[in-house]
Amino acid sequence: MDFEGAKQFILDKLRKELKPTLYYHDISHTLDVYGSVKRIASLEKVNGTDLLLLKTAAMFHDSGMLSTYIGHEEASCDIASEYLPQFGYGPEAIELINKMIMATKLPQSATGHLEQIICDGDLDYLGRDDFFMISHRLKLEWNLQNFNTTTLSEWYKLQINFLGNHKFFTKSAIQTREERKQQNLQEIKEICMHGG
């Protein structure tokens, strides 16, 4: 399996074809999730073929945004199924990659360890210092897609609900991200209390 070839292929495709109005689901999000997945996988002692499949899933997980916004996970699986055979990925490997991609669909539904890692990598920013910046990029993207146009106050209420219900799957994500996620949640609540 030629992971580096597949990675370069999908990065080039995203760079050339993604809509400029995707302020959250842009190439930097893909690379951010890729980096987060590698970090969590290392902490979770994942290596070899499992790591290669996980990294591939991270690179392709939002590629469906090239063709559709709603249901982009299914479209991402179609892209992975179409192009990964060119890079030496067999049917079994692609099936595992597609399961990982589908696990990231909200609400997340991770059953296996690799699915748990990609889900935690996809929402890693919830427990980081750059949460507010990334969250506002998602709000702007939703507005531009006419997906869910909200006021800032309504947006913060959505975020309170989302962070309040979200749970990291892996021990590593819980240990490294949960505390900051709770701080972010508290900050949003304080903003709302002061008329945010």
Question: Given this model, what pLDDT does residue 61 score?
Answer: 99
Report whether pLDDT(122) > 90.
yes
Percent helix / strand / coil, the chain, rounded to 5: 75, 0, 25
Question: What single-letter DSSP state applies at residue 108?
Answer: P
Query: Is residue 103 within 8 Å of 109, Cβ to Cβ?
Result: yes
Report whether pLDDT(70) > 80.
yes
CB atoms within 10 A of CB 70: 9
What CATH number corresponds to the domain at position 136?
A: 1.10.3210.10
| Strand extents, DSSP E, the chain | none
pLDDT digits (tens, 9 = 90+) for 18-52: 999 999 999 999 999 999 999 999 999 999 999 99
Query: Is residue 6 within 8 Å of 83, Cβ to Cβ?
Result: yes
Question: Given this model, what pLDDT does residue 20 score?
Answer: 94
Report whether pLDDT(196) > 80.
no
Higher-confidence position of 193 and 131 = 131
Report whether pLDDT(62) > 90.
yes
Measured between alpha carbons, how far is 187 from 1 in angstroms, rounded to an integer? 45
Number of domains in the chain: 1
Higher-confidence position of 150 and 107 = 107
Report whether pLDDT(195) > 80.
no
Short-list 180, 178, 160, CA closest to 169: 178
Question: Given this model, what pLDDT does residue 73 score?
Answer: 97
What 3-state DSSP class applies to 18? coil
CA angle 23, 95, 17 (to 5 degrees): 30
* Cβ-based burial of 165 (10 A; exposed 0-12, middle 13-18, buried ≥19): exposed
pLDDT digits (tens, 9 = 90+) for 75-95: 999 999 999 999 999 999 999
Determine if residue 66 is left, alpha or beta; phi over 0 gives left, psi from -120 to 50 gives alpha, anything else beta.
alpha
Task: Please provide the average confidence, as pLDDT, over all residues in the chain.
Answer: 96
Question: Given this model, what pLDDT does residue 145 score?
Answer: 87
CB atoms within 10 A of CB 54: 27
Domain assignment of residue 60, given as a range = 3-193
